Structure formats: C-alpha cells, structure tokens
C-alpha cells in the first residue's frame, strides 16, 4: 500500500512541472505578426493597425510575399558570446511591404509573447536601420575574465566581419559560448527550429557592443512611432453667422499615413470659447445661439486649429410711432346737405399712425377729425403737417359740424373728404313696369271678352 501511494506521488511530481512548462512554450510560438503605426505620446491602444500577416503569407518557401535569407549573427553580453543562425525576412522588407515610410520612423518597439507588460525591446530608427551592423566571426571570450580576444590570434576583433541586416527569423539555431568561425561549421540548417518564431536578430555595431538580451523571441507585434505630430488646419478661419443659423466646420489633417488621417479625424475634440454665442458638437457642427464673438477649436493631442466666429445682432424691422406738436392756422370746408367753415388759431398735437394700417381700417375708425401724420420730427421750428380724413357725417349735418372739422387742422394741413356713395333710386322704373303690366292685363281681358260673345 505504501509503495502504491509513493508511485502515485512520484507520477504527479513528474507531471506537474511538465504541465506547467508545455502551455507556456506552446502559447509563446507565434503564427502571425502585426504592424501598428502612431505618434509619440500615444498609448499602445491608440496605435492603428497598418497590416497583419501569417508566417505563410510572408515565407517565400511557402508561396509568401517576402524573400527569405540565411545569415549568422554574433552577440556579446559582457562575459559570454552568443551565436545565431537563422532563415527569415529582413525587417526593412516587412515594413516596406506593409506600406510604412521608413524615412518617417522615429522609433520601433517589439512586443513578445513572453513579455506580459509593454514592449520587450525598443530601438530608434538610427540605431536599428541607420547604423551599420555586423557579424563578428573572430570573437572569443576568456572564460576566467570574460574579456574579448581575437580567436585567430591576430589581435583584430574586426577580422572577417561582415555587414548584416536586422531580420525576423522564421526558424533558427543558437548556441552560447561559441566562436563564429567554428559555429558556422556545425550550425547546419537541419538544426533549425520554429519554436522561437518570429525571432529578432540584428547583430552588433562593434565587437564589444552588449546586446544579447535584445535578440527578442516570439515577436507578434511591432509598433512604429513616427516623428512629429499630425497637423490640423481649418478651411475656414473667420466666419460671420446669424442667430439661429447652423454651420459645419471642416478640418483637414496631415499625418504620415492615410490611416492616421482617418483616425485623427474621428478622434478630434471640439470646443467653443463661449457657448452663449455658438455651440459645437462632436462632428464640428455649429449652432448659433446669440450675438457676440467666440473661438471654435478643433484639437487632437498637441495639435489644434481654430476658427473665429462673429455673430451680429438680430436685425428686424421695427415700426415706431412719432409725435409732434405744431402751431398754425387751419381751415376746413365740407360739402353735403349743409356746409360750414371754421377758423382756429392755437396749438395742437399730431400722432403718427402705423404705416401698416390700411385705408379701410382708418376710414372705419376715424372720428370727425382723426389725423394721420408722419413719424418724422425735423427741427423745433418746423411747422408740423398732417392729413385729415373727414367723414361725410362731420360735414353734412350743419355748418357747425364743418367748423368743428376744420378747427383740428394745423397750418399747411390737407383735407380729404370721404364722400358718401351716391344711392340710385329704382322706384320710378318699378312704377312704370307695374303700369305697363296692368295695361296689358286689361287689354288681354277685353279681347277675350269679345271673343266669347
């Protein structure tokens, strides 16, 4: 019984480490790689995916788009050498194939599956592409001191050095504490493994450059950071608008890539300096609220563009009434059943009637002396003039009525008399018709009487 329990314990002891190790390695192997683009100051999730490929789409041995190469790379970590031989595609070719402008790159970050937070390794464009990098086959290390020396005894660490390009290996073989010239003899392609795909190799800029740990395994994402920042500009920098109107602003974006143009446009922040004058929504649409001046700003990160908006006062037509006082003599006459004249000397007040009143409304509401005057006032010495409408009833009653109508008129005023329409009499024609009808009836009766007899 004890032996049986011990056997199960031993089996579990062997399986647990294996179960813990296998998933980690399986998960680390990458089958695809993505290229993302952005600018300094952006967070990782703001970078825009430029392209993504499976390894088969890139490996020319399987009909992929990129030429693959075989090369040997040397490294030094300060006390040991590290040699690698790999088959893969040049990083430069991958970025150009993805449509990235190499001349605009500021830095490159490599993300690996065995690094859970942030980039595993970052390079400036100058360090990775603009600095010539080499493979040094003559490097050897003193096991006791860790110091470098020339393996061939010449004392020249640069002996046999050859230029190399940064590569992402699809398959590779690596070895510690090896000398390049000897490593090349044993590192046969039959030893290649895809377990570290995609494996970054970039060589050394000098024999004593320390960078072994930067040879990143399991690369699955590359962030390309461009120099500078997107440039925003408004097509309209000054606007004159009216209250109650609306208008949509258009912003142009100049970035290093069309995808970045679209991303920036969709993430622009709009702001009005005075929302009592004009409001703006997330798409740049303006709503004019009231008169005044405001600045509408479109911004993204450290870039911005502004438009000055002026809103004038609401201009509406206004009808005003004016009053005036004048002194003068006025005379009024009227014709009708009676006639009268009147003369008066004194002062009077004229009140302007709204210009919009119709003639019919004025006539219907006028009293015997209702004035309609102008809404203008000239100097204090100018004689005020008016037009007076006199209803026939004010003139037809008696001479006193005509005199009363004339007393309200100022000097220089004019009199308009509204005549009563003539009333036609139809009594005489009706009487004639009746007489003719009676005569015809009588004549018809006489004739009928005679025929009966």
Does residue 241 contact residue 288 with C-beta atoms inside 8 Å? yes
Which strand (E) or helix (H) includes residue 91? helix 91-97
CATH architecture of structural domain 32-226:
Alpha-Beta Complex (3.90)
- For 2, residues 6+ apart whose C-beta sits below 8 A from its C-beta are none
Beta bridge partners of 123: 108
- For 238, residues 6+ apart whose C-beta sits below 8 A from its C-beta are 307, 308, 310
Does residue 277 contact residue 292 with C-beta atoms inside 8 Å? yes
SS3 359: helix
Bin 130: left if φ > 0, else alpha if -120 < ψ < 50, else beta. alpha
Q: According to CATH, what is the number of the domain 231-313?
A: 2.60.40.1080
Task: Name which of 86, 111, 224 is nearest 168 in CA terms.
Answer: 86
pLDDT in tens, the chain (453 residues): 444 454 554 455 544 444 444 334 445 779 999 999 999 999 999 999 999 999 999 999 999 999 999 999 999 999 999 999 999 999 999 999 999 999 999 999 999 999 889 999 999 999 999 999 999 999 999 999 999 999 999 999 999 999 999 999 999 999 999 999 999 999 989 999 999 999 999 999 999 999 877 889 999 999 999 999 999 999 899 999 999 899 999 999 999 999 999 999 999 999 999 999 999 999 999 999 999 999 999 999 999 999 999 999 876 534 444 444 555 454 444 444 444 444 444 444 444 344 443 433 333 343 434 444 444 444 444 444 454 444 555 444 454 555 555 555 555 555 554 454 555 566 677 778 788 887 888 887 777 767 765
Q: How far is CA 84 from the centre of its chain?
A: 51
E-strand ranges in 142-218 read 148-150, 162-164, 167-176, 199-201
């Amino acid at each position: 019984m004890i032996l049986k329990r011990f056997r199960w314990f031993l089996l579990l002891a062997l399986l647990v480490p294996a179960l813990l190790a296998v998933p980690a390695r399986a998960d680390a192997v990458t089958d695809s790689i993505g290229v993302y683009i952005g600018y300094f100051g952006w967070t990782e999730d703001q970078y825009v995916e430029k392209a993504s490929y499976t390894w088969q789409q890139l490996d020319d041995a399987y009909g992929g788009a990129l030429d693959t190469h075989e090369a040997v790379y040397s490294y030094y970590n300060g006390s040991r050498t590290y040699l690698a031989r790999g088959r893969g595609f040049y990083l430069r070719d991958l970025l150009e194939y993805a449509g990235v402008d190499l001349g605009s790159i500021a830095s490159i970050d490599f993300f690996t599956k065995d690094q859970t937070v942030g980039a595993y390794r970052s390079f400036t464009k100058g360090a990775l592409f603009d600095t010539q990098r080499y493979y040094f086959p003559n490097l050897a290390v003193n096991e006791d001191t860790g110091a470098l020396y020339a393996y061939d005894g010449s004392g020249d660490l640069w002996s046999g050095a050859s230029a190399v390009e940064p590569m992402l290996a699809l398959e590779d073989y690596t070895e510690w504490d090896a000398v390049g010239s000897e490593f090349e003899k044993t590192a046969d392609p039959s030893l290649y493994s895809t377990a570290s795909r995609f494996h970054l190799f970039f060589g050394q800029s000098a024999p004593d450059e320390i960078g072994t740990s930067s040879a990143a395994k399991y690369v699955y994402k590359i962030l390309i950071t461009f120099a500078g920042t997107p440039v925003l500009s408004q097509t309209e920098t000054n606007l004159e608008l009216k209250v109650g109107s609306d208008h949509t602003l258009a912003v142009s974006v100049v970035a290093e890539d069309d995808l970045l143009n679209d991303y920036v446009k969709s993430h622009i922040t709009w702001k009005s300096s005075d929302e009592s004058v004009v409001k703006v929504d997330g798409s740049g649409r303006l709503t004019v609220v009231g008169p005044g001046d405001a600045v509408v700003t479109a911004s993204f990160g450290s870039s911005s563009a502004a438009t000055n908006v002026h809103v004038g006062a609401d201009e509406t037509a206004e009808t005003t009434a004016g009053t005036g006082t004048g002194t003068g003599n006025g005379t009024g006459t009227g014709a009708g059943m009676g006639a009268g004249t009147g003369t008066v000397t004194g002062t009077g007040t004229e009140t302007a009637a709204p210009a919009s009143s119709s003639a019919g409304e004025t006539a219907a509401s006028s009293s015997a002396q209702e004035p309609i005057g102008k809404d203008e006032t000239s100097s204090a010495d100018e004689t005020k003039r008016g037009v007076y409408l006199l209803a026939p009833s004010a003139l037809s009653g008696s001479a006193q009525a005509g005199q009363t109508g004339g007393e309200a008129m100022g000097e220089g005023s004019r009199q308009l008399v509204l005549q009563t329409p003539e009333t036609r009499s139809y009594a005489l024609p009706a009487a004639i018709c009746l007489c003719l009808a009676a005569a015809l009836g009588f004549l018809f009766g006489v004739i009928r009487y005679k025929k009966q007899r």
